Structure 1
Amino acid sequence: MSGFKLYEISEELMTLEDMLYDDTVDQETVQDTLEMINMDFEDKADNYAKIIRTMDASIKALKDEEQRLSGRRKALEERQKWLKDTLEANMRYTGKMKFKTELFSFNIQKNGGLEPLVITGELEDIPGRYLIQQPPIPDNMKIRKLLEEQPVEWAHLEPRGESLRIR
């Protein structure tokens, strides 16, 4: 369950909230618990909204933590690359291209795989048999603009959907 609560909820709904935060509880069990809660519709809706708002706060905290951890991971990756590049540069400088220590073996060698390809000419200079033809894709913004001006047989706009807003 969440580490903090924005709202106080009924005892019955605390069990529901615990289940919602537990990813090992299946959807059917949660649904059965929802159906067993006996209270007026409006009270139930208020309590659902309280849980939803608390979950919003938990989701925001998790996203913030994901961003923090992602930033930390990227910083470590950059430091690791820098350290590896520094080691390689020092190996090249000293001429030690291959050596062993008690713990590791070090070796600068050619990369495997295909040789890197660099296209130096213009796209028009490349014969067609060396190009990948791609099918055209619709320009949705232009089609929307056209549909504002006139109907067409090959496209239409659907009505906007609806969703619950809790304020």
Structure 2
Amino acid sequence: MKLYELTGQFLELMNMLEDAECDEQMIMDTLEGIDFEIEEKADGYAKIIKSLESNIKGLDTESERLINRKKVLENRIKWLKQNLEMCMRVTGKKKFTTDLFSFNIQKNGGKRKLVIDVDVEKVPKEYRIEQPDAIDGDSIREYLKENGLEGQDGSLNCEFAHLDPQGESLRIR
């Protein structure tokens, strides 16, 4: 879906950007070759950016649809296996072979699930692992905002931490 009508060099650029085989140097050469005033060039860039963003939204929607379809199929497989296992248990046949497949109900591999039935403090110390302290980043940020020293670069500093300056980026609306 194209949001904006692209012509000439900008259409060529859009086609290059959508082509996975096109290398970045060719794209850069085309960008440098576009000869317009900065305002016209910016409009062309913005049209391309908005079109690519629209394409991404479409891909996200399709990806979500496929993920949902995958979940449906996985759930159907799980249901079929549970149903077959139930039938095998009811008939007492835990193991048999057909011309195409072998069927067997057996214990799962790996460690058995461990369930702790009491509070952690009631488990003897020799079976517990001490956990190291963790940093509360939000509290440190708040402390720095209230008490930090501002550096020349816009950072906030104290004796044990600092906040880097806020970054900047281009916004197109």
Residue correspondences, number: 164
RMSD: 1.6
Give the Cα separation in 1 of the matches to 2:171 and 2:128.
Answer: 50
What SS is found at the alignment partner of 1:43? helix
How many percent of aligned residue pairs carry the same amino acid? 52
Bigger drift between 145-154 and 78-87 goes to: 145-154
* Equivalent position to 1:143, from 137, 140, 143: 140
Query: TM-score, with normalisation over the residues of structure 2?
Result: 0.87
Gapped runs of 5+ residues in structure 2? 149-157
Equivalent AA in structure 2 for residue 159 of structure 1? P
Give the Cα separation in 2 of the matches to 1:89 and 1:33.
Answer: 64
Query: TM-score, with normalisation over the residues of structure 1?
Result: 0.90
Instruction: Give a deviation string over 1:28-85, Cα, whole Å, max 9, x none.
Output: 2211221122222211111000000001111111111111111111111111101101
Compared with structure 1, are the counterparts of its residues 7 and 103 closer, same or farther at alpha carbon in structure 2 (3 Å cutoff)? same
- Is 1:35 aligned to residue 41 of structure 2? no
Compared with structure 1, are the counterparts of its residues 34 and 132 closer, same or farther at alpha carbon in structure 2 (3 Å cutoff)? farther
What SS is found at the alignment partner of 1:63? helix
- Is 1:158 aligned to residue 155 of structure 2? no
Structure 2 equivalent of residue 109 of structure 1? 106
Give the Cα separation in 1 of the matches to 2:129 and 2:62.
Answer: 42
Equivalent AA in structure 2 for residue 160 of structure 1? Q
Equivalent AA in structure 2 for residue 33 of structure 1? T
What SS is found at the alignment partner of 1:99? strand
What does 1:79-94 correspond to in 2, within 5 Å?
Answer: 79-94=76-91
Post-superposition shift, 1:148? Answer: 2.6
Instruction: Give a deviation string over 1:130-157, Cα, whole Å, max 9, x none.
Output: 3333332221111122123212321222
Give the Cα separation in 1 of the matches to 2:114 and 2:71.
Answer: 28
Instruction: Give every structure 1 segment of 4 or more consecutive aligned residues whose post-TM-superposition deviation is greater than 6 Å.
Output: none
Bigger drift between 114-123 and 56-65 goes to: 114-123
Give the Cα separation in 2 of the matches to 1:163 and 1:131.
Answer: 48
Equivalent AA in structure 2 for residue 84 of structure 1? K
Structure 1 equivalent of residue 94 of structure 2? 97
| Greater RCO (Cα-Cα under 8 Å, separation 6 or more) | 1
Equivalent AA in structure 2 for residue 39 of structure 1? F
Gapped runs of 5+ residues in structure 1? none
